[in-house]
Amino acid sequence: MRRYIVGRLAQLLFVVFGVTIATFSLLHLVPGNPARTLLGAKATAREVIVLTREWGLNKPLPVQYWDYLTRLVHGNLGTSVYYQSPVNSLIAHALPVTLAMLGIGALFGVCFAVPLALLAATREGRITDHVIRAVPLVGLGMPPFWVGLVLLVVFALAIRIFPAGGYGAGFGGHLDSLVLPGLTISAVTTPILVRSMRASLVEALNSEFIAAARAKGLSATRVLFRHALRNTLIPTVSVLAVNLGYLLGGTVVIENVFGLPGIGNLMLTGILNRDFDVVQSVTLMYAVVVVFINLAADLAYASLDPRVVLGR
């Protein structure tokens, strides 16, 4: 197991290297100069040139890339030219917001999906099953920014039980602020989870080992939870992991609607202002987080299914 984790972490190095090359080249290939963006419309060419030189952006690209890698190896993600601030500290403030939001969203997704899938699978082919399979799809079909705004209007303005966006203050405040964004995320994750869990549950419930369990005289609840559900968790975990990775890239929309100062907002401001170090670092962060989510999913696999042995 340990060897497996070490191996996967070693692969991470290659991923990181690949991502640095890709983002660095993409960013520098498209036109746009951060000095020009910072100085704005009232600046003339002369001032732009001076600042470009001051920031070292006039150096040949391979030299700039090498400087970037050297900094990275030392744990320095560079400096945001937009904010004149170390990228490390910007990310340190923004990343927890996004991760907490995703975590709460995933939790809500699972909390909604498990009972719904159980209900649907045990009533396979009946009206409850059809309703459960159809209704959440509406959530999936609505764009997240729309869902977010509707939730805000309903739960922050009409019935004032949650704050109208923002990140709040203190742990309780943060948690309170993340409920509606979490629900918005779950609108996307729940339908996917329900469908995949239901399908696996139906398959499990019709399989021989369940028939054997029933024949042993086990109670229906025990059969359902202990034997069927446990088996369905494996595909569910991978579906959730894939979707969380996908959602990570889509958080910018949800953060925008809720006014959350997360990594998506940081990334968008970075891209719009050609804040090279910010965009490079956030992309890298995305890659690393996605790799870790997948690793966590694989580890969860092993603990859920004794047949899965990692590292062979």
Partner 1 sequence: MRTHVHMKLVSAALAALILTGGLAVGASASRMPGQHLKGHATPVRGGNLVIDIETPQQNFDVNQTSDNESIWTYDQIAQTLYINAPDGKTLKPCLATSYSISANKLRWTFQLRRGVRFSTGMPMTSRDVAFSIDQALNPNSVWAFVDSSIKSVTASGPYAVVIVTKHPWAPLLADLALFANAVVPYNFGGKTRAEFFQHPIGTGPFELSQWVKGQSLTLTRNPYYWVTGQPYLNSVTYVPVSNSSTRMIQLEGGKADVIEGAPFSLLSSIKGAGYELGVFSSTRIDYVTMNELQKPLANVDVRRAISYAVDTAAIMKAVFFGYGTPANSPLMPNVNFYSLDPALITYNLAKAKQELAKSPYPHGGFTIDFIAGSGDPVQTSVSQIVQAELAKLNIQVKIELMDPSEVTQQEQSFHFGMRETYWTMDIVDPDEWVSFGFDGEAGSYSNFTHYNNAQVDGLVTEAEQTFSTSKRAALYAEIDKLVAANAPMVWLGYSPYSYAYSPNVHGFFVYPEGNAHLENVWMSK
Decide: 20 and 33 in contact? Cβ < 8 Å.
no
Query: Is the Cβ of residue 57 or residue 295 nearer to partner 1 in the bound state?
Result: 57
3-class SS string, 216-246:
CCCCHHHHHHHHHHHHHHHHHHHHHHHHHHH
If binding is defined by CB under 8 A, does position 145 make contact with partner 1?
Answer: yes
Query: Is the Cβ of residue 269 or residue 294 nearer to partner 1 in the bound state?
Result: 269
- What is the Cα Rg of the chain in Å? 24
**Sequence-distant (≥ 6) Cβ neighbours of residue 284 within 8 angstroms:** 16, 19, 20, 23, 77
CA distance readout (Å), 224 to 115, 127, 132, 209, 244: 12, 20, 18, 12, 27
Q: Judging by beta carbons within 10 Å of its beta carbon (0-12, 13-18, 19+), is residue 28 exposed, middle or buried?
A: middle
Q: Judging by beta carbons within 10 Å of its beta carbon (0-12, 13-18, 19+), is residue 216 exposed, middle or buried?
A: exposed
If binding is defined by CB under 8 A, does position 78 make contact with partner 1?
Answer: no
If binding is defined by CB under 8 A, does position 152 make contact with partner 1?
Answer: yes
| Residues near partner 1 (CB under 8 A), total | 60
Query: Is the Cβ of residue 45 or residue 215 nearer to partner 1 in the bound state?
Result: 45
Query: Is the Cβ of residue 7 or residue 249 nearer to partner 1 in the bound state?
Result: 249
How many CA atoms, within 13 angstroms, populate the side-chain half-sphere of residue 17? 6
Residues 229-258 that bind partner 1 (CB under 8 A): 252-253, 256-258
Q: Which stretch binds partner 1 (CB under 8 A): 10-18, 66-74, 139-147, 302-310?
A: 139-147
Query: Is the Cβ of residue 235 or residue 261 nearer to partner 1 in the bound state?
Result: 261
Q: What whole-number distance in Å separates Cα of residue 146 and Cα of residue 77?
A: 35
Residues 30-69 that bind partner 1 (CB under 8 A): 30-34, 36-48, 50-51
Q: What whole-number distance in Å separates Cα of residue 299 and Cα of residue 214?
A: 30
If binding is defined by CB under 8 A, does position 163 make contact with partner 1?
Answer: yes
- Matching residue, tokens 């369940």: 210
If binding is defined by CB under 8 A, does position 15 make contact with partner 1?
Answer: no
Q: Could you say which of 105, 136, 165, 245 contacts partner 1 (CB under 8 A)?
A: 165
Query: Is the Cβ of residue 105 or residue 270 nearer to partner 1 in the bound state?
Result: 270
If binding is defined by CB under 8 A, does position 29 make contact with partner 1?
Answer: no
Q: State the DSSP code for 307.
A: T
Q: Which stretch binds partner 1 (CB under 8 A): 64-72, 101-109, 183-191, 265-273?
A: 265-273
Decide: 123 and 130 in contact? Cβ < 8 Å.
no
Residues 270-289 that bind partner 1 (CB under 8 A): 272-274
Query: Is the Cβ of residue 144 or residue 202 nearer to partner 1 in the bound state?
Result: 144
- Minimal distance, residue 162 CB to partner 1, in Å: 9
If binding is defined by CB under 8 A, does position 85 make contact with partner 1?
Answer: yes
Site residues for partner 1 per CB under 8 A: 30-34, 36-48, 50-51, 80, 82-85, 89-90, 93-94, 143, 145-146, 149-150, 152-154, 156-158, 160, 163-167, 252-253, 256-259, 261, 265-266, 268-269, 272-274
